Amino acid sequence: MERLGYDELTYIFSKVTDADDRRSFSQVSKHNLRVACIRLLKLKILSFPYMLYMKILPASINLVSLECGTHISNTYMELLAQSCSNLKYLKLSSDSEDLFHTRFDFDDDGLCAIANGCTHLCEVDLSWRLGVGDVGVVAIVRSSRNTLTSLNLCGCVNVTNESLKAIGESSCLKSLNLQGCHLITDWGLEYYLAGQQDHSDK
């Protein structure tokens, strides 16, 4: 018997509405898993198992929303950037107080990879990601300057006034959380307000 192609499997999958049935469909074979991933728009990750790294992310080309509160290495961030260029909602608020995870979590290199690969981000939540600094924030803000409406940097203790200069250049930003960013001073806030004023004058 000839194996069903992607077009046929995609059509079949589109007719499956029950969540449990969709899950069963994806577990039948790697072929079916890829079909299910192609149609995936939102993904909430509790951990980063081997299957996710090797199979799910590379096939999730239409993914627009990713939520993950656990440890993510720069390698995973690079894979995400390469695989999911349509990403719009990136929610990476850390839910871990484990110092081991903090040491091996993504940093500015991972964020720069996202900035290069995902240039239409609308909402970004990086709260309590302790490896996040100015280089990564500036890269994210500038790459999505015309689409970014919400940025959460709560608890990002390495963010300084330099980030505020770039954030001030963003033309669409409506929500900004800087709680716990203790390196930001009044000068940084003035940079931000000056940038926003320039946009309102144009």
Mean pLDDT of the chain: 80
> 184's torsion region: left (phi>0), alpha (psi -120 to 50) or beta?
beta
With cut-offs at 50, 70 and 90, classify the pLDDT of residue 8.
Answer: very low
pLDDT in tens, 103-115: 778 999 999 999 9
Q: Give CA 142 to chain center in angstroms.
A: 15
What percent of the chain is modeled with pLDDT above 70?
A: 68
Average pLDDT over residues 183-199: 81
End-to-end CA separation in angstroms for the chain: 65
Task: Quote the percentage of the chain above a pLDDT of 90.
Answer: 48
| Domains located in the chain, CATH noted | 1-39 (1.20.1280), 41-201 (3.80.10.10)
Q: What is the pLDDT of residue 184?
A: 93
Q: List C-alpha distances in Å: 183 to 13, 30, 39, 111.
A: 50, 48, 42, 20
Question: Does the pLDDT at position 11 exceed 70?
Answer: no
Q: What is the pLDDT of residue 44?
A: 84
